């Protein structure tokens, strides 16, 4: 019986003999080197991933910054596009130009030109302004984009001029001056219409535009184009609204009898805030002259249309032989409270009557500012009167004020947009008005209105209406 526990004899087979110690050390080094290579590759891959994530974050931040700028663009479109160009430089390009087509689609103007070097930037201001008109013969990347071509990636910028392409020749001259290795010309296009182009230029051949850069430029251009389109639509609507408001104002004659007249209307800087300011002047059945200046509450088209309705109602009531200005305003207030209870308006209504030695003025203020009187040889002054409640607030008694208006004197009615400033009391605004009126007594009425605005420098946040009158000797007293 065999005994399995018997150790093998000298000739029996054995397992592989252990490697010598130097070989084992080499194997361990090889395994360690392999592990280090794997770790190195992992670290390098992680660094690449972090770099890509950082670049993506920077692009997203750039888009967020541009979007924030564009939110405020309609008020100052050119300024917003310039801000975008400054934000893009130097993160995405060494210098940038933004060109907008005019509404005719042929003429263009450069609205922004930004370089990374502040010293160069000061010189580039001369490069802003109109560009040569587009023509079918122009074949440069800029001309192609402005005529509707997609984004152009110019991998090798040529600094040679092109025949019959004055617009590109100017760009070439600029590239020679500022340097250029690669350029991207992206269209500002919306709803199938090209509104302009943005050109980004890199001067370092070691920093070419890649696919991610091109996608980012296209995104920026699309956002800018949407803002340009919105701003132009708003401008057109604002223009229509302003024209509508001006059409609602009466055609003021240069004179009524012996009284010279001049009206001035100036919209607010933000034309979307169309207001309800108006002036009017017309003859009365007793041969007197009615002077009106009012302001309907609100800054929209509704206020403008209500202004026209109130003006016509006032004329109708004044023509019914109602004698005192306070009575006219009381009648008008009751009509508004009955048929337009939501309307609120301030108003000064005055009767100018010839008298034996000049003119007499009787007026009533419905929550409105007092008239300014300019008499040759005398200080400018306000005709202080009791300011009753505005129209549409409450049916309370109203007061009249009488004042003499010497021959040659000027009377100025105005809306609050002329004197009001943020953070300043109305009293200070009226004091400034009196000071501004000094020295205007002898100027033509047109210059009186313009000079008052120039001296007061209104904030521009509200509409301004001014009605200036100058009385001459009544015909009955004239030699």
Task: For residue range 72-127, list pLDDT tens digits in order.
Answer: 655 577 888 888 888 888 889 999 999 999 988 888 899 999 998 888 887 787 77
Whole-angstrom distance, CA of residue 234 vs CA of residue 260: 38
In sequence order, the β-bridge partners of residue 312 are none
Task: For residue range 116-174, list pLDDT tens digits in order.
Answer: 888 888 778 777 888 888 888 888 888 899 999 999 999 988 766 666 666 667 777 78
b vs e for 202-236, b when ≥16 Cβ sit within 10 Å of the residue's Cβ? bbeeeeebeeebeebbeebbebbbbbbbebbebee
Tokens of residue 38, six digits:
């794997």
Q: Do 361 and 411 touch, CB atoms closer than 8 A?
A: yes
Whole-angstrom distance, CA of residue 102 vs CA of residue 291: 43
| Helix ranges, 140-294 (H) | 141-146, 166-178, 211-248
Q: What is the reported pTM?
A: 0.59
Whole-angstrom distance, CA of residue 460 vs CA of residue 299: 13
Task: For residue range 234-292, list pLDDT tens digits in order.
Answer: 777 767 766 766 677 778 899 999 999 999 988 876 655 566 889 999 999 887 899 99
Whole-angstrom distance, CA of residue 114 vs CA of residue 398: 61
b vs e for 358-395, b when ≥16 Cβ sit within 10 Å of the residue's Cβ? bbbbbbbbbbbbbbbbbbeeeebebbebebbebbbbee
Task: For residue range 369-417, list pLDDT tens digits in order.
Answer: 999 999 999 999 999 888 899 998 888 899 999 999 999 999 999 999 9
| Length of the chain measured in residues | 479
Can you say whether the dihedral through the CA atoms of 307, 308, 312, 318 is positive or negative?
A: positive
């Amino acid at each position: 019986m065999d005994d399995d526990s018997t150790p093998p004899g000298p000739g029996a087979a054995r397992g592989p003999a252990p490697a010598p110690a130097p070989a084992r050390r080499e194997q361990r080094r090889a395994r360690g080197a392999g592990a280090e290579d794997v770790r190195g590759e992992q670290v390098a891959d992680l660094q690449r991933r972090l770099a890509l994530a950082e670049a993506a974050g920077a692009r997203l931040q750039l888009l967020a910054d541009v979007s924030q700028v564009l939110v405020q663009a309609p008020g100052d479109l050119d300024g917003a596009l310039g801000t975008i160009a400054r934000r893009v430089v130097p993160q995405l390009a060494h210098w940038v130009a933004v060109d907008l087509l005019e509404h005719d689609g042929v003429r263009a103007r450069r609205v922004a030109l930004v370089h990374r070097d502040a010293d160069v930037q000061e010189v580039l201001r001369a490069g802003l302004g109109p560009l040569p008109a587009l023509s079918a013969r122009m074949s440069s990347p800029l001309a192609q984009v402005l005529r509707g071509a997609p984004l152009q990636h110019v991998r090798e910028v040529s600094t040679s001029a092109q025949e019959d392409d004055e617009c590109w020749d100017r760009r070439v001259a600029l590239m020679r001056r500022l340097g250029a290795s690669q350029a991207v010309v992206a269209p500002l296009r919306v709803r199938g219409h090209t509104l302009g182009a943005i050109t980004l230029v890199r001067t370092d051949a070691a920093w070419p535009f890649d696919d991610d850069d091109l996608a980012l430029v296209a995104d920026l251009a699309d956002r800018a184009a949407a803002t340009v389109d919105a701003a132009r639509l708003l401008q057109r609507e604002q223009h229509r609204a302003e024209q509508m408001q001006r059409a609602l104002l009466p055609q003021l004659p240069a004179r009524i009898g012996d009284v010279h007249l001049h009206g001035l209307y100036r919209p607010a800087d933000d034309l979307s805030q169309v207001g309800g300011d108006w002036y009017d002047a017309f003859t009365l059945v007793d041969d007197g002259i009615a002077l009106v200046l009012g302001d309907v509450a609100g800054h929209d088209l509704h206020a403008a249309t209500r202004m026209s309705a109130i003006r016509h109602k006032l004329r109708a009531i004044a023509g019914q032989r109602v004698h005192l200005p306070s009575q006219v305003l009381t009648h008008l207030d009751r009509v508004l409270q009955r048929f337009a209870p939501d309307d609120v308006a301030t108003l000064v209504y005055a009767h100018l009557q010839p008298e034996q030695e000049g003119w007499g003025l009787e007026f009533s203020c419905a929550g409105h500012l007092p008239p300014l009187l300019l008499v040759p040889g005398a200080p400018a002054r306000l005709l202080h009167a009791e300011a009753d409640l505005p129209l549409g607030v409450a049916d309370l008694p109203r007061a009249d004020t009488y004042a003499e208006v010497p021959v040659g004197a000027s009377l100025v009615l105005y809306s609050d947009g002329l004197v009001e400033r943020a953070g300043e009391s109305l009293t200070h605004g009226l004091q400034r008005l009196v000071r501004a009126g000094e020295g205007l007594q002898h100027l033509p009425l047109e210059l009186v209105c313009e000079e008052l605005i120039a001296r007061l420098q209104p904030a521009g946040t509200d509409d301004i209406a001014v009605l200036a009158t100058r009385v001459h000797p009544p015909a009955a007293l004239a030699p």
